[in-house]
Amino acid sequence: MKINITTVIFILSIGVSISVFGQGSGREGGWNSPPGTERLERFRKMRLEEALKLNEDDSVRFFAKQTAHEDKARELMKSRNDIVDDMDTAVRNHDEPKKIDGLSDQLMVVDKKIFEERQRFQNDVRQMLTPEQFGKFLVFERNFGRQVRDALEEMHQDGQQRQNR
């Protein structure tokens, strides 16, 4: 895969900001977001807009749908994490199996909602884009996430090597 050196440098600089200041949660640019999150999100949107060759109107509609999806997914993940926290407490306290089973059932319901939300979003996007654009969107999501993750892992390994010297 051919990667533009500017893209790699930008991703690495964002990764440094994120790894130096730790990970947080919250909306992009929010009070609890790691530094650089907003820049990375703007960069991702710009690259996605280029990859899909969206005009201004389609871009506005696409990112409105994506923002709504991300908000819903974030809400569902918070609910999921709360249930897992309750599960952790129940397991550590050796609570009754019935309580743990109930939490497991709740978790499975939320997991199903997360999956359904993802499907709903992809169906909306699929109707809005051409088949080629939709394919490019799916490939972009996978590749961009991998590039960021790989850059962060590489920076982490470099940091560990410097500490061991």
Looking at residue 158, what is its pLDDT?
A: 83
Range of the domain at 112: 5-163
Looking at residue 156, what is its pLDDT?
A: 84
Rounded to whole angstroms, the Cα distance separating 31 from 97 reads 39
Please, are residues 28 and 41 in contact by the beta-carbon 8 Å criterion?
A: yes
Rounded to whole angstroms, the Cα distance separating 97 from 133 reads 48
Looking at residue 28, what is its pLDDT?
A: 43
Label residues 69-96 b or e (16+ Cβ within 10 Å = b): beebeeebeebbeebeebbeebeeeeee
Rounded to whole angstroms, the Cα distance separating 105 from 128 reads 35
Looking at residue 32, what is its pLDDT?
A: 54
Number of domains composing the chain: 1
The pTM score is 0.70
Rounded to whole angstroms, the Cα distance separating 18 from 40 reads 10
DSSP 34: P
Looking at residue 33, what is its pLDDT?
A: 61
One digit per residue, the tens of pLDDT, for the chain of length 165 reads 444 544 544 454 444 343 333 334 444 444 456 777 888 889 999 999 999 999 999 999 999 999 999 999 999 999 999 999 999 999 999 999 999 999 999 999 999 999 999 999 999 999 999 999 999 999 999 999 899 889 888 888 888 878 887
